[in-house]
């Protein structure tokens, strides 16, 4: 299923969401400009679980080099489709979470979700030497928060109904719940295999659960609402 838009208006301008999208795009354009130096750049600023593991166990890796990628990796992407897919979900669902948490609270939440998701990925792949990049963990936090705060909101979704595609307005709880299940099954299966490249399933799972918990504790207050128009 591919969400196209939601029918859940935000009542404040999503300046942080737009700034995050812009920052991710600028960072990706910088990656493109690096050419052959990109491999070294991703190796330095992407999240490498084994590097953090070694930093804990010995002094061979400086703590700065081990911690910095928890933040920098969430602004880097592995390709145009990776970037567009992540930013599309952030554009659809981020504005309402920013509306609910406030601009500063939303920024802190987004970064914390990304760091927590990265930590879960490291915990699930401690020996992996493959750099991981992408905003997926932080955005999964946004999706988890949305599922808790607005489960009944309608999300216009492109649904594959063989042999056709159908556009349907579905409850956000169903759409995001289905997305989470798609992460959970391969995530569980990945625990039985050796660390390898591909999708960081546990970063998605960790981010989503983090978003649900944070929203359940701090963000379930009613959001701002516009006054109803006066009868004429």
pLDDT tens readout for residues 76-113: 998 999 999 999 999 999 999 999 999 999 999 999 99
Residue 86, domain member (yes or no): yes
- Supply the range of the domain harboring residue 208: 2-193+200-218
Residue 211, domain member (yes or no): yes
CATH code for the domain in which residue 172 is found: 1.20.1540.10
Q: Rounded to an integer, what distance in angstroms lies between the CA atom of residue 142 and that of residue 148?
A: 10
Residue 232, domain member (yes or no): no
Per mean pLDDT, which range of 67-71, 111-115, 157-161, 202-206 is the poorest?
157-161
pTM reported for the whole predicted model: 0.88
Residue 227, domain member (yes or no): no
Q: Rounded to an integer, what distance in angstroms lies between the CA atom of residue 211 and that of residue 229?
A: 34
Q: Is the pLDDT of residue 232 over 60?
A: no
Q: Is the pLDDT of residue 143 over 70?
A: yes
For residues 106 and 98, the answer to whether their CB atoms sit within 8 Å is: yes
Neighbours of 12 (CB within 10 A): 14
Percent of the chain with pLDDT over 70: 89
Paired tokens of 168: 């349907």
Which secondary-structure segment (H or E) carries 155?
Answer: strand 154-161
Residue 52, domain member (yes or no): yes
Residue 226, domain member (yes or no): no
Percent of the chain with pLDDT over 90: 64
What per-residue confidence (pLDDT) applies to 226?
A: 46
Residue 119, domain member (yes or no): yes
Paired tokens of 228: 């109803």
Q: For the chain, what is the domain count?
A: 1
Residue 58, domain member (yes or no): yes
Dihedral Cα 18, 215, 153, 103, nearest 10 deg: -30
Per mean pLDDT, which range of 62-66, 195-199, 228-232 is the poorest?
228-232
Name the DSSP letter for residue 198: S
């Amino acid at each position: 299923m591919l969400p196209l838009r939601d029918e859940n208006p935000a009542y404040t301008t999503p300046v942080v969401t737009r700034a995050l999208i812009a920052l991710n795009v600028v960072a990706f354009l910088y990656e493109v400009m690096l050419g052959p130096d990109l491999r070294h750049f991703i190796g330095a600023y992407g999240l490498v679980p084994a590097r953090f593991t070694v930093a804990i166990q010995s002094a061979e890796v400086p703590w700065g080099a081990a911690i910095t990628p928890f933040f920098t990796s969430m602004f880097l992407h592995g390709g145009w489709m990776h970037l567009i897919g992540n930013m599309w979900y952030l554009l659809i669902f981020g504005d309402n979470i920013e509306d609910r948490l406030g601009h500063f609270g939303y920024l802190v939440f987004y970064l914390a979700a990304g760091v927590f998701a990265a930590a879960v990925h490291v915990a699930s792949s401690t020996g992996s030497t493959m750099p991981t990049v992408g905003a997926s963990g932080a955005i999964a936090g946004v999706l988890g928060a949305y599922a808790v705060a607005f489960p009944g909101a309608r999300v216009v979704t492109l649904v594959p109904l063989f042999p056709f595609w159908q556009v349907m307005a579905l409850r956000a709880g169903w759409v995001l719940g289905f997305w989470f299940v798609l992460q959970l099954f391969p995530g569980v299966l990945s625990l039985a295999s050796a660390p390898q490249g591909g999708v960081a399933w546990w970063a998605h799972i960790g981010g989503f659960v983090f978003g649900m918990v944070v929203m359940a504790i701090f963000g379930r207050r009613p959001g701002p609402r516009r006054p109803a128009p006066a009868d004429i």
